[in-house]
């Protein structure tokens, strides 16, 4: 299985092409291709191999095919919005307008490794997302613990869980 790591900023040229990082292309097989769809969680574009998309589909096989609203939502938001992306001989792809619009891409795109997947972002939006993610991560380290109670003291004390 592919492992995408790192953050790479590349220019979007006048013909709307952007170079996929060589490190990412190495994981995408021959010919190199991937699937891309608008993220359901943020303004990034989700990108994955056929293997990852197939595994995702297998996890949802138990959902009723024609009578499940959940399955219909998955199909519409992921499969129907998904684009098959083929990388040209120079390592570039042309991003469909819907994906560019979702991400707000213009002059540059940042490719963000996410392990078995990667995302494409507008650089400043990704930077802001990363700041918020770091803040959420730091806040999540706070936990509630009970301490021995002193006279006149509340038993629930907020502590840093690190």
List CB contacts of 14: < 8 A, sequence separation 6 or more.
Answer: none
Write down the domain spans for the chain.
Answer: 7-160
60-101 pLDDT, tens digit each: 666 665 667 777 777 788 888 999 999 999 999 999 999 999
110, 121 in Cβ contact below 8 A? yes
The H or E element spanning position 46 is strand 45-48
CATH ID of 7-160, from 3.50.50.60, 3.40.50.300, 3.40.1550.20, 3.40.720.10: 3.40.1550.20
Q: Which of 72-81, 92-101, 131-140, 143-152 has the highest mean pLDDT?
A: 92-101
- Where residue 16 falls (left for φ over 0; alpha for ψ -120 to 50; beta otherwise) is left
The H or E element spanning position 157 is strand 156-160
103-127 pLDDT, tens digit each: 999 999 999 999 999 999 999 999 9
119, 109 in Cβ contact below 8 A? no
Nearest 5°: the CA angle 131, 134, 140 is 145
pTM of the complete model:
0.79
8-42 pLDDT, tens digit each: 999 999 999 999 999 999 999 888 899 999 999 99
Distance from chain centroid for Cα 129: 11
């Amino acid at each position: 299985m592919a492992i995408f790591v790192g953050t790479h900023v590349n220019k979007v040229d006048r013909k709307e092409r952007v170079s996929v990082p060589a490190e990412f292309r190495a994981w995408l097989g021959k010919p190199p291709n991937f699937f891309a769809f608008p993220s359901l969680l943020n303004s990034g574009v989700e990108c994955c191999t056929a293997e990852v998309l197939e595994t995702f589909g297998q996890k949802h096989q138990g959902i009723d095919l024609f009578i499940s609203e959940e399955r219909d939502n998955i199909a519409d938001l992921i499969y129907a919005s998904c684009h098959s992306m083929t990388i040209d001989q120079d390592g570039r792809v042309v991003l469909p307008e819907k994906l560019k619009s979702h991400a707000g891409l213009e002059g540059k795109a940042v490719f963000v490794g996410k392990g078995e997947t990667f995302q494409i972002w507008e650089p400043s939006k990704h930077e802001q997302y990363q700041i918020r993610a770091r803040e959420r991560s730091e806040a999540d380290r706070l936990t509630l613990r009970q301490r021995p109670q002193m006279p006149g003291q509340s038993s629930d004390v907020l502590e840093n869980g690190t």
